[in-house]
Structure 1
Amino acid sequence: MKPTGQEIRPLASSLWMIALMLCAAVATNTALGAIYTLKNNVQVEGVPGKISSLGVDPLKSNGGGAASPKLILFVDDNIRRTFFSFYQFQSQVPSPEASLEKIVIRQRVAQGGKRLASVGVILGVTPFDEFGRRVFKLVSARGPLDIYQGITEITPTYTKVEGLASKTPIVWETRIATSSIPRTTLSNILTNHLDMNKPSDRLRIVRLYMQAERYQDALFELEAAIEKFPDLANLKDQVRELYQHLAEHLIREIELRQDAGQYVRTFQWLSNFPRKGVANETLLQVRDLLNEYQTTITKRDEVFALLDQHYESISDEGIKQQLLPILDEIKTQLTVNTLSRMAPYLRLSDDEDLTAGAKLALAVSGWLMDEGGEIENLAVATSLFEVRNAVRKYLAIDNLVEHQEILEQLSELEGSSPQNVTRLLAAMKPAVVTEPQDNGVPGFYHMKTPGLTGEPDVEYLLQLPPDYDPYRRYQVILTLHGAGTSPQQQLEWWTGAYDKKMNMRMGQATRHGYIVIAPAWHKGKSQEYGYSAREHAAVLFSLRDACRRFNIDTDRVFLSGHSIGGDAAWDIGLAHPDLWAGVIPITATADKYVSLYWENGRRVAFYFVGGEMDGNRVALNARDLNRYLTRPGFDTMIVEYRGRGHEHFHDEIHRIFDWMNLHRRQFFHEDFKCSSLRPWDNFFWWVELADFPDRSIVVPLAWPNPQARASTTEGVIGPNNRVRVRSAARQVTVWLSPEMIDFNERITVSINGRLYGQDIEPSLEVLLEDVRTRGDRFHPFWARVGS
């Protein structure tokens, strides 16, 4: 029936009011409470609370005893609770008031029946269907159990999922991140549960997407609503606003990719930046970013022209022949990441007081030793090229005779001082040349490296980020798979799957420019982590081999793992705290050495992720986690998902990257104290140990040994060039670096009370052998003393 004119006017008025609602306050007022800023600059937001201990109901009476201090703070954001220590607290501000859309999905929720106390082993989870329902399959005490679940509430940040009525109903409420639901699935659910013939319902979907910053989805829904309801044409201003939001989002993505060193792709995106509905200010910002690229290209071309000009000014043919390979290397390998090395050369290129040779010396030494290492002596500068090449050869081979020959060669070359070699190491490409592998995925490698004596080679997968440049330092995630999963699956949790159309992986490690390493660390059919030397070696040897081949920022290496891979990450993170910028155990369990190594965690940051209904894992871990949260000196964050079990928790990946981006390793602590119970847990920062007392050794096969006591090693870098170490180990080696002492002053090293120092001198052999074996080009040791 066609509406009359009298009916049209109220309808138009109603649509106008709906349009106003698009930007107005909506159904759910969510006062999240507080934003906490921690001492590590991490920010967390949610409804705040305090407890005295994990694993204890904060509402339960303490039986009349003295109340324990509530040193554990947390925030609840409706998906998860994030716990941190009072000692990590820095500041707190109220959260801004937010009015968030909440769409209720009608389902037949289980009202009676059993209440799920914990989530057993997960056998599988079906995708949500178009009605927001799925089947969650797990192992219960009576065998396999299918639980029917349905989405009952959708907000921009979280989605509530509840158990549904069935023959065997299970009462269970859980939360997932709305961002984890695929766009098509979410759209189908909303379409089936809302009335698409009502403009108010269509606009509720638009609001939901806008508040979730899913601007492309919001734009699609809004344009569809305007087409269906012409009276909503006044919302075309909102369409333009969404185009502007999309443009600003793309700018932020471009800036993120620029920070990650992905200049080729960002230049392409800027060159093809969409203009429809985009404000002039944004287009000017795009133009400025493109101009920065053009300025870089102009500077690079200027460097090349000046190099040619100054080269032609050299009259000595012998010197010109020496310069040819150096200048050719600069011209073929100079990039956005290394152009700053030419800054002093560009600045002084027209200085009339400098000869052409002195100017070329600035260019050559700047290229080889980075900005700050420039010299004006061309003979020394060209000699540095020979030194650098000899150093690369030393690091790339494993032959004692050739090593000695190279050391003799270096002793005769000008500029081969430890100071210069340290600069050369930091500025050069990795020594071991690794050609791309033809496997269909750019930057993807399947590598092998020798394992322990008598053990098979260690295999690992490695994915480089887009536009990888061997002269740029990259953050690394070393990630350990769980039982029943593979290194490939573990790698793709971080990198995403390969997209042929985009010619790259589409995950978060790709966006942020991280290298991801996934070793095949777990062998056999065992469902448990063995705490063994072989497992440790698989992790550590993979990292060291990768450091020799790729430009890894050794101060930005993060260790992670899922399930028993999380158990391993926790243990290895504590056993070798000097290697990691942070450790991220996901659904991990504390066992064996973890409880005895807890003090090792003072010098390495931890980010734990788990589910509150993951069996009795919370209780099993409570003692160790409480130690981290109730004592000063620990940088620990614990994330517990509401109503969730033993899952992969991909919902958390954005927050994990926020956390990692704020953490880096401090390699030279003024003091440390660490425990050892295994013979291979024998190095901490600048101290190496051997020959522990028998009473301090318990190998995994002999666990437990109630009589054993962990040996303790303490190290202190004191004033006046004094270094002190106390350890129960009979053999102690102290490695010395210019980052911890001054080699130009008297050095005193005390090892268990015995003094050393008279004969401590920098050694090129010590330096190169240290870098070759550890793989760390950025913190080389120059000397060592030992008991």
Structure 2
Amino acid sequence: MRYYLALALALICFLVSGQENYSTQTKKALETMWKAKDDTGYQKALNMYEEAFRIYPDSIDGTGLYKASVLASELKNYDKAFQYLTPLVKMKADEDGYPGWTYVIGESSKSEYKNLLDDPRWNALKQNALLDKEQFYKKLKEIQDEFFAVKNNSFDEKENTDVLYSKIKNDAPYLAKKQQNYSVLFNVNDSITTSYLVHLPKNYHPETQYPVLFFLHGAVRHNVLSDYQMVAENLGGWNRFYTKYADLNNVILVFPKGGRKYNWMTPDDGFFMIPEMLKQIKKAINVDDNKVFISGHSNGATGSFSYLMKQPTPFAGFYGFNTYPKVFTGGTFIENIKNRSFINFSTDQDYYYPPNANDRFTQLTAGIKADYHEHRYNGFPHWFPQFDASEPAYPIIFNDIKTRKRNPFPKEISWEYDDEKYGNMAWISDMKLDTLQPKAPWHRVLNFKITKWLKYDKNDSLTVEHVNKNAFDFPRKSGKIKAEYSKNVFKIETSRIQSFSINISPEMVDISKKVKVFINGKLYFNEKVKYDRKFMLQNFESNRDREQVWVYSLPIKI
């Protein structure tokens, strides 16, 4: 028995070692390819790939075949190029790689295989690839349709309003899912699409409400939108610890795909995507509305911070690795943090945002008593999530997800904005600016100076650059509101605000009694409010939030 156990363990070790050695060797081949300046360098890289194929035939993957075929094409070794292209194109999409047809009819195929375009074998491969693409998208649609399938459910607009409110709160038309991972097509507009990947807990049950964590990727300017997401690309690599701890804690993961123009940082064109994706997801699976979170790395962490600053209402908390804590599309209004929370994981060798600036930022947030926490990891560069040493950060995130819960009806709100698209926070909505008015005395600007910045020199050595820059920019005038309620009484102060609305929930006030509203110290409203059936349904349809159901909206004009 011990002999066979030892033999099995040895075999496992051999297979694992083989895969690791294959990966190591093909990585070196890729680096050689990048550094190559002529055919001699390309031939050396191709030889390295072929040696890896020979020694580890069971480890050959699509990426290896792809790079080898490109190299052979560049070297005008046509037979060898097709030798690697033929099995590559036949590869089906799976959790480890892209479907083979993408290599032949993808955007870069004409440039990468320019030497093969006149070969009859190329046209044959292309025709088969087009058929494979058609079947791929047909299957993808079937999977997406299954993801969005729910029980027949509708609300009777003539229903008693109390009953309608209860039905909305308890709306749960969900079905079991056949898969754990779903790539979902997302319409950015009438002509542009992207996608997001949903990773469900292994034993997802439609009657259980689950926390959701969005992960926003970095390098948005170097990414392109994609109609579909591959599982390994999102769940492995730098994201491996998100997957590990999400699975341990039964948290749904969502991985959106952004690009240069449509993303979560800058410009503002794609900022709507995450809330809209959340709305779609809530239609398909049972989400705990009070436990939706956002995390990210680099540009993605800046995106997470931007949702905290501009549109936090649907979310409970925010996280970021190597964050640049600044809004790049307008003003950065730090006191908005007080409506939610942020946990940042920084490193001392980060060129993206320097440690001295992180220190000043932490001091600033402490001064306003914001729920902001920073964890510093020394000895690591900007790409911290790549390292195994980053793993201790993830239990911090998932323990916070476990214990943190959004209050859908906060007793106090402080909100500042300079773009009316983001004039909404919890039960205050539709804020309109009046920037011709003077600011209230309590409407202050918070900022600080950054004096040192880390940068890499031409020798890839990290150096300190002395700078004199403001942490935040304020390109437009802003408006601000401070609001609170207790025992059917609302007290609201405004600065540069023209109008807004107060959304009412029966969980905030006693509907049977009068509601009083004081605006800047003066009584503005003193009447009863009642359920507005049409508003209830329209509002639920716009956000699918079962925990934050408004029954009446009171318009206020200053």
Instruction: Give me the TM-score of the superposition, normalised by structure 1.
Output: 0.42
Please say if residues 596 and 710 of structure 1, whose CA atoms lie closer than 8 Å, have aligned partners that are also in contact.
no
- Superposed displacement of residue 435, structure 1: 8.4
C-alpha separation in 1, matches of 2:269 and 2:411: 32
Matched with 1:81 is none
CA distance in 1, matches of 2:416, 2:427: 15
Is the CA contact (8 Å cut-off) linking 1:451 and 1:537 kept in structure 2? no
Between the aligned partners of 1:749 and 1:714, the Cα distance in structure 2 is 13
Deviations 1:49-74 (A, max 9, x none): xxxxxxxxxxxxxxxxxxxxxxxxxx
Name 2:541's counterpart in structure 1: 772
- Going from structure 1 to structure 2, the CA distance change for 1:716 and 1:461 (only over 3 Å counts) comes to same
Match of 1:745?
513
What's the counterpart of residue 215 of structure 1?
Answer: none
The offset of 1:450, in angstroms, is: 4.3
How much does 1:653 deviate? 1.5
Query: How far off is 1:660 after superposition?
Result: 2.1
**1:534 Cα deviation from its structure 2 partner:** 2.3
Q: Are the structure 2 counterparts of residues 422 and 466 from structure 1 closer, same or farther at C-alpha, using a change threshold of 3 Å? A: farther
| Structure 2 residue corresponding to 1:473, chosen from 187, 190, 209 | 209
Which secondary structure state, in structure 1, belongs to the residue aligned with residue 381 of structure 2? coil
Q: Identify the residue that residue 306 of structure 2 maps to in structure 1.
A: 571
Note if 1:624 corresponds to 2:361: yes
- Secondary structure in 2 aligned to 1:625? helix
Instruction: Give, in whole Å, the separation in 2 of the partners of 1:713 and 1:492.
Output: 43
Retained in 1: the 8 A contact 2:214–2:253?
A: yes
Query: Deviation at 1:727?
Result: 5.3
Q: Deviations over 1:466-512 (max 9, x none)?
A: 22122211001011011157975445469759xxxxxxx96221121
What's the counterpart of residue 553 of structure 2?
784
Check whether the contact 1:475–1:552 (CA below 8 A) recurs between aligned residues.
yes
Assess, with a 3 A threshold, how the Cα gap between structure 1 residues 742 and 508 changes in structure 2: closer, same or farther. Answer: same
Partner of residue 39, structure 2: none
Are the equivalent residues in 1 in contact too, given 2:535–2:551 (CA < 8 A)? yes
Match of 2:480 in 1: 712
Instruction: Tell me the distance in 1 between the aligned counterparts of 2:413 and 2:191.
Output: 33
Contact 1:722 1:749 in 2 (8 A): yes
**Residue 660, structure 1, aligned to residue 397, structure 2:** no
1:638 aligns with 2:369: no
**Mapping for residues 564-713 of structure 1, pairs under 5 Å:** 564-592=299-327, 596-615=332-351, 617-632=354-369, 634-649=370-385, 650-651=390-391, 652-693=393-434, 708-713=476-481
- Distance in 2, matches of 1:739 and 1:677, equals 30
The one-letter amino acid of 1:589's match is: Y
Q: Trace 1:361-510 onto structure 2 (pairs within 5 A).
A: 392-394=153-155, 406-407=156-157, 410-411=158-159, 416-418=160-162, 420-430=163-173, 436=177, 442-451=179-188, 456-457=192-193, 459-483=195-219, 489-492=233-236, 496=240, 507-510=244-247
Unmatched 5+ stretches in structure 2:
1-18, 22-26, 29-34, 36-150, 438-471
Contact 2:409 2:548 in 1 (8 A): no
Is 2:236–2:243's contact at 8 Å kept on the other side of the alignment? no
Q: Deviations over 1:308-362 (max 9, x none)?
A: xxxxxxxxxxxxxxxxxxxxxxxxxxxxxxxxxxxxxxxxxxxxxxxxxxxxxxx
SS of the equivalent of 1:579 reads coil
Paired residues of 2:181 and 2:198 also in contact (CA < 8 A) = yes
8 Å Cα contact 1:690-1:732 kept in structure 2: yes
Q: 1:460 to 1:529 in 2, by over 3 A?
A: closer
Structure 2 CA distance for partners of 1:560 and 1:769, relative to 1, 3 Å: same
- What amino acid sits opposite 1:517 in the alignment? V
For residues 694 and 445 of structure 1, the distance between their equivalents in structure 2, rounded to whole angstroms, comes to: 46
- With over 3 angstroms needed to count, the CA separation of the structure-2 counterparts of 1:644 and 1:560, relative to structure 1, is same
Aligned to 1:402: none
Deviations 1:584-620 (A, max 9, x none): 0111112346873110001211110121111252234
The answer to whether the 8 Å contact 1:477/1:517 transfers is yes
Contact 1:491 1:516 in 2 (8 A): no
Match of 1:191 in 2: none
1:453-478 deviation line (CA, Å, top 9, x unaligned): x6734532211112212221100101
| Structure 1 partner of 2:276 | 541
Matched, 1:732 2:500: yes
In 2, the alpha carbon distance for the partners of 1:610 and 1:705 equals 22
Measured after TM superposition, the shift of residue 548 of structure 1 is: 2.1
CA distance in 2, matches of 1:494, 1:769: 40
Which residue pairs with 1:29 in the alignment? none
Within 2, Cα distance between the matches of 1:562 and 1:467?
28
Report the CA distance shift for 1:529/1:716 in structure 2 as closer, same or farther (over 3 A): closer
* Distance in 1 between residues matched to 2:539 and 2:213, nearest whole Å: 23
State the Cα distance separating 1:668 from its structure 2 match: 1.6
Could you tell me whether the CA contact under 8 Å between 1:695 and 1:709 is conserved in 2? Answer: no
What secondary structure is seen at the aligned counterpart in 1 of 2:542? helix
Query: What is the one-letter code of the residue matched to 2:164?
Result: V
- Cα distance in 2 for partners of 1:712, 1:533 equals 21
Q: How does 1:184-199 map to 2 (within 5 A)?
A: none
- Distance of aligned partners of 1:128 and 1:625 in 2 relative to their CA distance in 1, 3 Å threshold: farther
Say if 1:529 and 1:467 are closer, same or farther in 2 by CA, change over 3 A.
closer
Count matched residues: 365
Q: What letter corresponds to residue 551 of structure 2 in structure 1?
A: W
- 2:214 aligned partner, one-letter code: L
Q: Find the aligned partners of 2:257 and 2:192 in 1 and give their Cα distance.
A: 11
What's the counterpart of residue 516 of structure 1? 253
Contact 1:590–1:620 under 8 Å retained in 2: no
| Equivalent residues of 2:436, 2:496 under 8 A apart | no
Summarize the Cα distance change of 1:707–1:457 in structure 2 as closer, same or farther, 3 Å threshold. closer
Deviations 1:70-102 (A, max 9, x none): xxxxxxxxxxxxxxxxxxxxxxxxxxxxxxxxx
1:558 to 279, 286, 293: 293
Structure 1 residue runs without a partner (length 5+): 1-126, 130-134, 137-143, 145-388, 395-405, 498-504, 697-703
Q: Distance in 2 between matches of 1:579 and 1:642?
A: 34
Amino acid at match of 1:681: Y
User: Does the 8 Å contact 1:695/1:707 carry over to 2?
Assistant: no
Tell whether the 8 Å contact from 1:451 to 1:541 is kept in structure 2 after alignment.
Answer: no
Alignment of 1:339-358 (within 5 A): none
* Aligned-partner residue type, residue 422 of structure 2: D
- State the AA in 2 paired with 1:668: F
Q: How does 1:71-470 map to 2 (within 5 A)?
A: 392-394=153-155, 406-407=156-157, 410-411=158-159, 416-418=160-162, 420-430=163-173, 436=177, 442-451=179-188, 456-457=192-193, 459-470=195-206
Distance 1:466 1:735 in 2: 38
CA distance in 1, matches of 2:359, 2:506: 41
RMSD between superposed Cα atoms in Å:
3.7
| Larger Rg, first or second structure (1 or 2) | 1
Q: CA deviation at 1:772?
A: 1.0
Moved over 6 A (4+): none
C-alpha distance after superposition, 1:343-383 (max 9, x if no partner):
xxxxxxxxxxxxxxxxxxxxxxxxxxxxxxxxxxxxxxxxx
- 1:554-608, CA deviations, whole angstroms, 9 ceiling, x for partnerless residues? 1111111111011111111121233322100111112346873110001211110
- Summarize the Cα distance change of 1:554–1:648 in structure 2 as closer, same or farther, 3 Å threshold: farther
AA matched with 1:601: I
Sort the Cα spacing of 1:451 and 1:732 in 2 relative to 1 into closer, same or farther, 3 A: farther
Q: How far did residue 726 of structure 1 move?
A: 3.0
